[in-house]
Amino acid sequence: MSPYTSPLAEELAPELLERFLRYVKVDTQSKRDRTQSPSTPGQLDLSRMLVDELRQLGLEDAELDGNGYVMATLPSTANGNAPTIGLIAHVDTSPDESGTGVEPLVHRDYDGGVIELPKLGTRLDPATMPELLGKVGHDLVSSSGDTLLGADDKAGVAEVMAAVAYLAAHPELPRPTIRVGFTPDEEVGQGAKIFDLERFGADCAYTLDGSEAGEYTDETFTAASADVRIRGVDVHPGFATGKLVNATRLAGEILAKLPPELTPEATADREGFIHVYSVEGSAGAATIRAIVRDFDDDRLAGHVALLRKVAEDVVAAEPRADVEVEVAPQYPNMRTYLDERPEVSSAAEEALRREGFEPRRVPIRGGTDGSILSARGLPTPNLFTGGHEFHSVREWASAQDMASAAAVTVRLAGVWAERG
């Protein structure tokens, strides 16, 4: 049995894999606390390469802007008034693991066993990664074990490129006007914020930044950050009797009172959480940094209120200390915006069906560029890429599933052309 979902996917696969292996070797790791866009110069190396390749494909207006965004147009071949559709992927990789010197390895015709990678004893083991069991007979790509692979999101970048190359070579296939957008700094939460929607000029868009084949996402967390700042009274410990108020001990009390069942490690599916990711403290002052997540805006507000109440109650018991809780929204659940444009998700489902998938709607316990883009007025659900174990040295991708993602993208163009 062929591991490909269609002859189209099989036709797209070799060139797509070749692109992917080329792109992952470019170090495009982004950096938190950026001072400019993009946050790191390596991202521009890949972006320039993509501009050249898009121009070679005939997308003559391909351009890299001053903030590191690549945009290009594939003109319509459809009759009528099909809307302009955007295809978006991010060029940066996560700061969580090294992205330097990525050596991609292709494991042909996977047999369902454990794959031992050459570096750091890293293993791809179906016992802990059950998705592997569905990939017997596939060609899997991994790193050598000591870096990210970078499938997040170079799988998406390669799939957009392969789909656009195919469509450009087949003008007889009706397609809408397609706008391609490659963004920097998605992994540090900045990619969508200064994305120039007016210049992009699409009516809706799709990010290719998901995981398992057949999945798409039109729902993400609603996200807020919460910083709890505690001020105590610092006195030399030798003279502290009855005077010192230790802010760090108060921080510890607050942490101990936060419900353990409301953490990322204790929740799943549609449950939200409060995640404390950093604590800094001295005797005089302490800061607890947390992120708060839920799919439901009211429940999110409830988690924030709980955190605030715990902090204020603990500190109220010590009148010489004070506390300030600063809450800031980070990104909204895209569902709110996509519900108003049901045709955007239905086109994705139709394209998945045409490639032989029964579409699976999977809410993401996180955000995508599409969360912010949807809120800013460009409805943007997320499609699968075929990559797994993102942000780790165990990251892997299936060449066949990547080919399916590119084929779904080609079919998506067909769906929208018919709707013109």
Candidate list 92, 153, 218, 349, residue with the active-site label: 92
Phi–psi pair at 85, nearest 5 degrees = -110, 135
- 188 is written with which tokens? 């540090």
Least CB distance to Zn ion at residue 391 (A): 9
Q: Does 219 bind Zn ion (CB under 5 A)?
A: no
- 187 is written with which tokens? 């992994």
Q: Is 186 a catalytic residue?
A: yes
Closest to Zn ion by CB, 146 vs 209, is 209
Can you give the three-state secondary structure of 332-356, one letter per residue? CCCHHHHCCCHHHHHHHHHHHHHCC
Cα–Cα distance between 337 and 56 in angstroms, integer? Answer: 36
Least CB distance to Zn ion at residue 172 (A): 34
Q: Does 209 bind Zn ion (CB under 5 A)?
A: yes
Q: Are 230 and 284 in contact (CB under 8 A)?
A: no
Q: Does 153 bind Zn ion (CB under 5 A)?
A: yes
Indicate which single residue of 152, 218, 318, 349 sits in contact with Zn ion (rule: CB under 5 A). Answer: 152
Q: Report, in this order, helix, strand and coil percent for the chain, each rounded to 5.
A: 35, 20, 45
Q: Which stretch binds Zn ion (CB under 5 A): 104-112, 188-196, 203-211, 303-311?
A: 203-211
Least CB distance to Zn ion at residue 387 (A): 9
One-letter identity of residue 350: E
Cα–Cα distance between 196 and 373 in angstroms, integer? Answer: 10
Q: Does 146 bind Zn ion (CB under 5 A)?
A: no
Q: Are 391 and 97 in contact (CB under 8 A)?
A: yes
Q: Which stretch binds Zn ion (CB under 5 A): 136-144, 150-158, 170-178, 240-248?
A: 150-158
Nearest Cα to Cα of residue 184 among 92, 81, 283, 310: 92
Least CB distance to Zn ion at residue 121 (A): 26
Determine if the peptide bond prior to 174 is cis (ω within 30°): no
> Under the phi-then-psi rule, with left for phi > 0, alpha for psi from -120 to 50, and beta for the rest, what region is 288?
beta
Closest to Zn ion by CB, 176 vs 370, is 370
Q: Which stretch binds Zn ion (CB under 5 A): 49-57, 103-111, 198-206, 208-216?
A: 208-216
Closest to Zn ion by CB, 27 vs 153, is 153
Q: Is 326 a catalytic residue?
A: no
Which residues, in sequence order, are CB contacts of 393 under 8 Å at separation 6+?
97, 117, 119, 120, 122, 143, 145, 146, 147, 148
Q: Does 389 bind Zn ion (CB under 5 A)?
A: no
Q: Which stretch binds Zn ion (CB under 5 A): 62-70, 129-137, 139-147, 206-214?
A: 206-214
Least CB distance to Zn ion at residue 177 (A): 25
Closest to Zn ion by CB, 71 vs 364, is 364
Q: Which of residues 61-80 bind Zn ion (CB under 5 A)?
A: none
Least CB distance to Zn ion at residue 209 (A): 4
Determine if the peptide bond prior to 339 is cis (ω within 30°): no
Cα–Cα distance between 358 and 368 in angstroms, integer? Answer: 23
Candidate list 27, 153, 159, 186, residue with the active-site label: 186
Q: Are 348 and 208 in contact (CB under 8 A)?
A: no
Closest to Zn ion by CB, 96 vs 111, is 96
**# residues near Zn ion by CB under 5 A:** 3
Closest to Zn ion by CB, 209 vs 318, is 209
Closest to Zn ion by CB, 53 vs 153, is 153
Least CB distance to Zn ion at residue 149 (A): 12
β-bridge partners, 360 = 215
Q: Which stretch binds Zn ion (CB under 5 A): 19-27, 145-153, 303-311, 333-341?
A: 145-153
Active site residues: 92, 186
Residues within the interface to Zn ion (CB under 5 A): 152-153, 209
